[in-house]
Amino acid sequence: MVVHTIGANNSLFNQFIAEIRNIDIQKDSLRFRRNLERVGEIFAYEISKTLEFSEKSIQTPLGESLIHLPQSEVVVTSIMRAGLPLHTGLLNYFDGAENAFISAYRKYTDDGEFKINFEYISSPSIEGKVVILADPMLATGSSMELAYKALLSKGTPKHVHVVSVIASEKGVEFVKNNLPKKNTTLWMGAIDQKLNSKSYIVPGCGDAGDLAFGAK
Ligand code: URA
């Protein structure tokens, strides 16, 4: 399974990640959502380079232009609710894509443990299509695995691109060990070393869903 870490290269991407992490800047939830959207756009651009393109002839007012246009059918899928701004960013670029939504959230017990609760999937058929599966935070990897399995009820994808803005080393290892190695690519913004006792990524950015949409 190929793992790309976009933030490993020097680019404007790192400014957006820095703002997403920064406790002073992330108080502005509009800017927080917009930064998730902006990194979603960059992920989309990077993923687009791996897709199949075919040559088409376009008529301009002054002549004919041969250009390469994407050929793959893409389904942008996100895990709610934190995935929604990232979804918008991906869709800004893949504007002809179909859309899927999966609801998965942590349900804590009194002793501080949690289980991932799956409630809902809305998805077209993914048979033979390229799926982009997005969740801004890849902490333990369990939600991603659950979402991936839920999607398989909608067909067999041609390829799955897993997108997370901030991941933990543990989450990346879990996904590498629990999702098929073939036809799966991981696109991570940054990979942090630690998870705390509540399985939040450290340093991470905090709770992405709460920062984007308010505390529950
Ligand atoms: N979800 C978040 O929003 N943040 C984390 O650090 C882990 C899971």
Task: Report pLDDT for 28.
Answer: 97
Where does ligand 1 bind, in terms of residues with CB under 6 Å?
Answer: 82, 137, 139, 200-201, 204, 207-209
pLDDT tens, position by position, 51-87? 999 999 999 999 999 999 988 999 999 999 999 999 9
The residues of the chain scoring below 70 in pLDDT are none
pLDDT tens, position by position, 130-141? 999 999 999 999
Task: Report pLDDT for 6.
Answer: 92
Going 176 to 179 to 181 to 187, the CA torsion angle's sign is negative
To test ligand 1's pocket by mutation, which of 20, 137, 198 has the most ligand atoms within 8 angstroms of CB?
A: 137
Task: Report pLDDT for 150.
Answer: 95
CATH code: domain 8-49+74-213 is 3.40.50.2020
According to DSSP, residue 152 is labeled G
Going 127 to 134 to 174 to 113, the CA torsion angle's sign is negative
DSSP for 73-90, please give it.
-EEEEEEETTTHHHHHHH
What are the structural domain ranges in the chain?
A: 8-49+74-213
Task: Report pLDDT for 179.
Answer: 97
Q: Is the peptide bond before 136 cis (omega within 30 degrees of 0)?
A: no
Task: Report pLDDT for 52.
Answer: 92
Task: Report pLDDT for 129.
Answer: 98
Nearest residue (CA) to ligand 1, atom 3: 207
For residue 94, the SS3 value is: coil
To test ligand 1's pocket by mutation, which of 78, 108, 201 has the most ligand atoms within 8 angstroms of CB?
A: 201
CB 21 within 8 A of CB 7: no
